[in-house]
Amino acid sequence: MARHDDLTPLLYAGRHTGYGSYVLRARHDRHLTWGILVSAVVVGAVFVGPYLHQLWTRSQDEAPIPVLYDRVINYSELSAPPPIEATTPVVEQQLPKKQVKYTKPVVKPDEEVEDEELMPTMEEIRNTAVGATNVEGVGDSIAYDTPPVVEEPPPPPPRSEPFTVVETMPAFPGGDRGLIDYLGKELRYPSMAVQAEIQGVVYVQFTIGTDGRVTDEKVLRGIGGGCDEEALRVIKAMPDWSPGEQRGNRVPVRMVLPIKFTLK
């Protein structure tokens, strides 16, 4: 197969070769060689460059830390430790034991010796009170033992905060089935929510008092579009519940009711 340079004179025989495609074809091999060399250099720099950079960084990290000066300290140059202070042993002080003074007996004549007071008999103290001295009483008296008066503890103060869980929870008239029927009958889907296609669950918190009335209604989490206001209206219009009981006493109970709005 003929080379490109051999074919070029044949193609341009008898034609003007001072410019144009003849010059480009004549320089094609040189341009191709330079393009290959430049591409090789760029590709080598892309793949070999990170490796060279890693080797250079590792060599910098492993470079020894310069030491300003070396000095060897001999053991004889070290200072001696401080002397240990002599401590005086602590001697426990022994306290003197309790003693009783010995009294030497004295012999006295009979007329100077006082008569010993004899202990009263059981018959003498049966109907009398026992005391430190002898007291002449007016008459016989009988002491009756009266039981101490025990005051009943005051009743506990009323609870300020409602309960959340009690022994007997409040009940809607008709139970859970009656509550579902009531919501299905009274709840109205707001037109604004219908147009905006708003659906979801509105959580309403309220308190059932000791008389069964519904108070303190508020929306904990709503969905907007008028659904929050409609849920509050239905809760406020509910009939009285059966109040909750704790230890046999009626107590206020706080409840949370989820009301679901769904487009059919």
* Stronger pLDDT, 5 or 150, i.e. the higher one: 150
pTM of the shown model: 0.41
User: Residue 26 falls within a domain, yes or no?
Assistant: yes
User: Residue 13 falls within a domain, yes or no?
Assistant: yes
The pLDDT value given to residue 174: 92
User: Residue 92 falls within a domain, yes or no?
Assistant: no
The pLDDT value given to residue 2: 43
The parent domain of residue 19 ranges over 1-58
User: Looking at 19, 34, 58, which one is the last position of a domain?
Assistant: 58
In the 8-state DSSP scheme, what is residue 74? -
**Residue 205 pLDDT > 90:** yes
Q: Could you give the number of structural domains in the chain? A: 2
User: Residue 71 falls within a domain, yes or no?
Assistant: no
For residue 254, give the 3-state DSSP assignment.
strand
For residue 71, give the 3-state DSSP assignment.
coil
User: Residue 132 falls within a domain, yes or no?
Assistant: no
User: Cβ(202)–Cβ(256) under 8 Å?
Assistant: no
From 45-59, 226-240, 248-262, the region with the lowest mean pLDDT: 45-59
Give tens-digit pLDDT for 18-37. 656 666 767 777 788 888 99
**Residue 12 pLDDT > 70:** no
User: Looking at 28, 58, 88, which one is the last position of a domain?
Assistant: 58
* Stronger pLDDT, 81 or 252, i.e. the higher one: 252
User: Residue 231 falls within a domain, yes or no?
Assistant: yes
User: Cβ(235)–Cβ(206) under 8 Å?
Assistant: yes
The pLDDT value given to residue 65: 56
CA-CA distance, 186 to 73, in Å (whole number)? 97
User: Residue 163 falls within a domain, yes or no?
Assistant: no
Q: Of 208, 204, 100, nearest to 162 (Cα)? A: 208
User: Residue 6 falls within a domain, yes or no?
Assistant: yes
For residue 166, give the 3-state DSSP assignment.
coil
The pLDDT value given to residue 1: 40
Residue 149 φ then ψ, to 5°: -80, 120
Q: Which residues lie closer than 8 Å to 230 by C-beta, 6 or more apart?
A: 187, 188, 189, 190
* Band of residue 70 on the pLDDT scale cut at 50, 70, 90: low
